[in-house]
A = this chain, B = another copy of it.
Amino acid sequence: MTLSNATFKQNPHSLLVVPGPIEVSDAVLLSNASASVSHVSPDFVQIFKKTLSMILEVLYAPQTAQPFVIAGSGTLGWDLTAANLIEQGELALVLNNGYFGDSFQDCLETYGATVEKVQAQLGHTVTPDQLATHLEKAKSEKKSYKLITITHCDTSTGVLADAKALAEVIQKHSPQSLIILDAVCSVASEEIRFEKWGLDMVLTASQKGLGCPPGLCICVASERAIKVFEERKSRPGSYYASWKKWLPVMKAYQSGSAAYFATPPTNLITALLTSLDSILKSSPSLEERFELHKKSSDRIKKAVDGLGLKQVPVNPGSSAHGMTAVYLPDGITPAEVVGKMSAKGLVIAGGLHKDVKDRYIRIGHMGITAVDKERGDVDRIVQSLNESFKDLGFQAS
């Protein structure tokens, strides 16, 4: 029996609503089970070519921007940034909203950057005003940042930075700096306007808003970023993450031929194309998709409010739409809530931020969970949350 999308159904399982990996459609999983193809075959070249082009579309990036799709996790995106765009001793500025800002700094330092940071307090994001003040001071001290990193949604706390406004501030006060957006937990669940916002690098992974299994690192670099790379004096600090190796490969596949540096993960790329097809070519539109993420998010956050619980993001306007992080009432542990939810067939996540790790839970609602109402995932999340807290003897005050 050969399977079509119509007949394949994934195995029954608990509903996965952590902030990635996320629920994946049957069609995407079936693509991930495609029979082996040669990575240089005409069929796969077309699959990869389309995938690279559609990644640009999801980000509203111009066709002059350079996409990279590489076997690796989202973490590899930091190496792709740092190993190619920083040379020994150059200055980088990290807008640090949490766990992932710390890690990006660590990665930049590995490749020789001197890193400064603007630190947001727990539950906050760095604001455009804070950044403007910092950059004005830096200018007066004759400091110049080679690049500035923004964590869009910090998955550790669910805060969402105002990437558009931050990018504007950078363009005004530090136009020479490359603008790097860590969008692992926001691509395809939050609006990102690569060209309009003047971004130079967006990095993400396959297992969040893009609705695929994990295993792909996905980046888009601006023409300006590629030029900065091409003019670097030293060799890139990494071998596997070197654009010197990857640029000819990506350009070949983009132009409809094959080139080799490392065997591309053919099945995952085929799965990604299926997901991109559904994101870009079917209803809802990309704009509607972002709206549906907001609506689903609002429903879950309203339920949290209804329970009288506090969210980790302090300002509702700086809260991600693909996940919700919630402080627990005194006397209730993350393990207890995770356990109750699990008994109801839902998998949620505990805390990650070191300062409050044992005091909050995280719920993911990206991709089909947020967009496909017929699945009823958001209903299940809301209902199970209410029941779980009731089971734990907690009453909204």
Contact = CB atoms under 8 A, between A and B. Distances in A.
Interface of A: 1-3, 7-13, 16, 18, 20-24, 29-30, 32-41, 71-76, 78-79, 82-83, 106-107, 110-111, 205, 207, 213-215, 217, 235-242, 260-268, 347, 349, 352
A219 B39 CA distance: 22
A70 B155 CA distance: 21
Nearest to A12: B2
Contact of A78 (B29, B205, B240): B240
Contacts of A24: 35-36
Q: Binding site of A, secondary structure by majority: helix, strand, loop or mixed?
A: loop
A173 B107 CA distance: 39
B34 A110 contact: no
A9 B3 CA distance: 7
Contacts of A238: 79, 83, 110, 237-241
A265 B213 contact: yes
A16 B37 contact: yes
7 nearest interchain CB pairs? A215-B265, A73-B262, A75-B262, A33-B33, A213-B267, A13-B35, A107-B239
A34 B21 contact: no
**A205, A236, A241, A349: residue with the most chain B Cβ atoms closer than 10 Å:** A241
A13 B37 contact: yes
A34 B7 contact: no
Given A110-B242, A214-B264, A33 B38 contact: no
15 contacts: A3-B9, A10-B33, A13-B36, A16-B38, A30-B33, A32-B267, A38-B349, A40-B349, A72-B76, A73-B263, A75-B240, A107-B240, A214-B263, A214-B264, A238-B241
A237 B240 contact: no
Given A9-B3, A38-B18, A266-B21, A214 B71 contact: yes
